Amino acid sequence: MHQLQLLKRLQLDHAPALLDFERANRAYFAASVPDRGDHYFAHFDARHAELLAEQAAGLHFFHVLVGDGGEILGRVNLVDVADGSAELGYRIAERAAGRGLATAAVREACVLAARGYGLTELRAVTTLDNAASLAVLARTGFTPGEEFVLDGRPGRRFVRDLRDAEVPGP
């Protein structure tokens, strides 16, 4: 099993491994979340540079999970940062799924959000048929909210208040 080292803030030199990760897992991810589309892959380097510029401006915080061999096993993003809040998104490589990486990464993201970025709340959404994501959100202290339709499928919004909830230590 690959060990979770730490969430690493997305950097320019992550681009080749990140593109490999996205390509290798495209069909797997598309089974539970909307596909990124061909444009994403055709213009990956430009999009990666845009994301880094948005991160530098404090609009989003992007992270990767790096395995023992330097390969990317997942990503955890805090996007649309405003007024002490952000939306959490995460994806784990198919070959690394089911090993607790998503739960550990989301827990670490909550600590980073509160202590590193000064956020007080995280939001998340998932479809109701995504049992793995529902379990991760439940295990990491997210409270279920309203149901809605996401990509044509029933979904649910979740929230995690980082002020009232105990944030685990590093």
Sorted by where each starts, the structural domains of the chain and their CATH numbers stand as: 7-161 (3.40.630.30)
> Hey, which residues does 146 pair with through a beta bridge?
none
Q: What is the pTM of this model?
A: 0.88
pLDDT digits (tens, 9 = 90+) for 117-129: 999 999 999 999 9
Question: Residues 69-116: pLDDT tens digits?
Answer: 888 999 999 999 999 999 999 999 999 998 899 999 999 999 999 999
Sheet order of strands, 72-82 included? 7-9, 61-66, 72-82, 85-92, 121-127, 153-161, 143-150
Q: State the number of CA atoms in the 13 A half-sphere of 149 facing the CB.
A: 3
